[in-house]
Chains A and B, each alone.
Chain A
Amino acid sequence: MSPYEEVILEHWRNPRNRGRLDKPDLVGVEVNPLCGDAVRLELQVAEGRVTDVRFDGQGCAISQAAASLLTELIRGRTVAELREMRDEELLSALGGVIPTRRNCALLPLRALRRALGG
């Protein structure tokens, strides 16, 4: 496993759904004070389902690529499903993440859990 699989580089260079929503229903912010990485996730929810999503943030390639990819993974899914979302789903969608950097990759997922009130 390379630390920067193509999927990570691709999302880092071309982030999806970066920005803010006009009226988000749910917002989650997570920061890592050790490195300054920060991710903000905004969700629009209708009838228990995520209809739109944006992320904003700063930090390393892995945390920002993971945030971008996460927005694609969660759009259209129900809040109930997302509450059950496991770390492994995001890590494997990223092509695997080396152990020293898993914390970076999971930062956006922690922001999502915060948004969902978990």
Chain B
Amino acid sequence: MDLARIRADFPILARRENGRPLIYLDSAATSQKPVPVIEAEARFYRERNANVRRGIYLLAHEATELYEGARRRIAAFLGARPEEVVFTRGTTEALNLAAWALGETRLAPGDRILVTEMEHHANLLPWQEVTRRRGAELRAIPITPEGHLDLGAFRRLLDGRTRVVALAHASNVLGTINPVPAIAEEAHRVGAVVVVDAAQSVPHMPVDVGELGADVLAFSGHKMLGPTGIGVLWAQAELLEAWPPLLTGGEMVREVWLEGATWADPPARFEAGTPPIAQAVALAAAVEYLEGIGMEAIRAHGEALTALALEGLLARPFAEVYGPRDPRARGALVAFNLKGLHPHDVATLLDQEGICIRAGHHCAQPLHRKLGIPASCRASFYLYNTREEVEAFLAALDRAWEALR
């Protein structure tokens, strides 16, 4: 990977904070955008803007071609079929749609849904809501002290009433990469549907839906160099065909009478209203950019930076690190605390040096409760980060510790 060339593609990295170069270590919250993505969105508005699927004129035809072309591009990236790729507003909307539709089609009173203790709220609250509405039961697979899923407990919780197993592919706090293929195999044995929150994995490593073995997968565009306002719900065709729409309105129907309507086929059935057209085009440009560098190379780079950060944190007796110690078992992020210091103080001191890290509960309150901490700091890495930046981050932690201890 030619880091200097990659960094030159991200205009925001030229920004300076307090006279120092910006060091952006919060890509797990949202990634920065390269020029080809920014330009793809701008070019669409300059040259091709029209609504999709309805215009007879050439411009609308071209816009539709670009929008559907983006779907095909993203499907190929995932090893999926285009008709299985639904554009949503983001991971949150995708998971809400999946939870609602599975509730409508598969969930009866007394049934069970399994989540995990490490879920982001986006993959917890929709299941809380659907189990509450349907009179079903929600159980969480516990984590081990190392931050892995407790697979023995999973097997004990998985029973004939289990209809859904919903889990993160990679945790946004612990970093843990969960063994989705093995979990899916066991879940399928009892007939459960496997829903994967891939918001922290698809941007960072090769993900092929066939190899993963899940039934439903959700991720966001903005964490993978794409724009905000677009995400993807991938689901097996037979599921999508059975699902009713969550949102109804324009563009998702076949025939409408005053008394009722028939639904369009997937994926249009789940894309009511004008979709994020320019954003889909820009997301396809982001996928092209990522593939141009190679997902294997991006994964290797993220793993190397995570290893460096982990090593540096573990060598500092005043730091407490959460999640697996082995960088190969985790995504490109590390959550930690400096003993006795509040994460907000640490983040503010690093911000003074132009270093952006996240501090808080990262939308995973139950996980923080389990860890016995109110909040944590998190540094996350992406293809544009360098070893020098990780080293600057570690040195800044030493200064923060000295300033406040």
Q: For B344, what are the chain A residues with a Cβ–Cβ distance below 8 Å?
A: 35, 60, 62, 101, 104
Nearest chain B CB to A108 CB, angstrom units = 15
Among B345, B361, B403, the residue within 8 A (CB) of A60 is B345
Q: Is B294 an interface residue (CB 8 A)?
A: no
Q: Which of A56-108 contact B (CB under 8 A)?
A: 58-62, 98, 100-101, 104
Interface size class, chain B: 10 to 19
Nearest chain B CB to A65 CB, angstrom units = 10
Contacts A59-B342, A60-B344, A61-B342 given; does A34 touch B360 at CB 8 Å: yes
Q: Which of A27-64 contact B (CB under 8 A)?
A: 34-37, 58-62
Q: For A100, what are the chain B residues with a Cβ–Cβ distance below 8 Å?
A: 348, 351
Q: Is B375 an interface residue (CB 8 A)?
A: yes
Q: Is B55 an interface residue (CB 8 A)?
A: no
Among B342, B349, B359, B375, the residue within 8 A (CB) of A3 is B349
Q: Is the CB of B375 within 8 A of A61?
A: no
Contacts A3-B348, A4-B349 given; does A35 touch B343 at CB 8 Å: yes
Q: For B105, what are the chain A residues with a Cβ–Cβ distance below 8 Å?
A: none
Q: For B360, what are the chain A residues with a Cβ–Cβ distance below 8 Å?
A: 34-35
Q: For B404, what are the chain A residues with a Cβ–Cβ distance below 8 Å?
A: 4, 9, 12, 61
Q: Is B374 an interface residue (CB 8 A)?
A: yes
Nearest chain A CB to B30 CB, angstrom units = 17
Q: Is B144 an interface residue (CB 8 A)?
A: no
Q: For B348, what are the chain A residues with a Cβ–Cβ distance below 8 Å?
A: 3-4, 62, 98, 100-101
Q: For A12, what are the chain B residues with a Cβ–Cβ distance below 8 Å?
A: 404
Q: Is B262 an interface residue (CB 8 A)?
A: no
For residue B352, which residue of chain A has the nearest CB?
A: A3
Top 7 nearest A-B pairs (CB, nearest first) are A36-B374, A60-B342, A60-B344, A61-B345, A60-B345, A3-B348, A35-B375
Give 6 new A-B contacts, CB below 8 A, not counting A4-B403, A35-B344: A3-B348, A9-B403, A12-B404, A34-B360, A35-B360, A60-B342
Q: Which residues of A contact B (CB under 8 A)?
A: 2-4, 9, 12, 34-37, 58-62, 98, 100-101, 104
Q: Jot down 19 A-B pairs with beta carbons below 8 A, ordered by A.
A: A3-B348, A3-B349, A3-B352, A4-B348, A4-B349, A4-B403, A9-B403, A35-B342, A35-B360, A36-B361, A36-B374, A37-B342, A60-B343, A61-B345, A62-B344, A100-B348, A100-B351, A101-B344, A101-B348
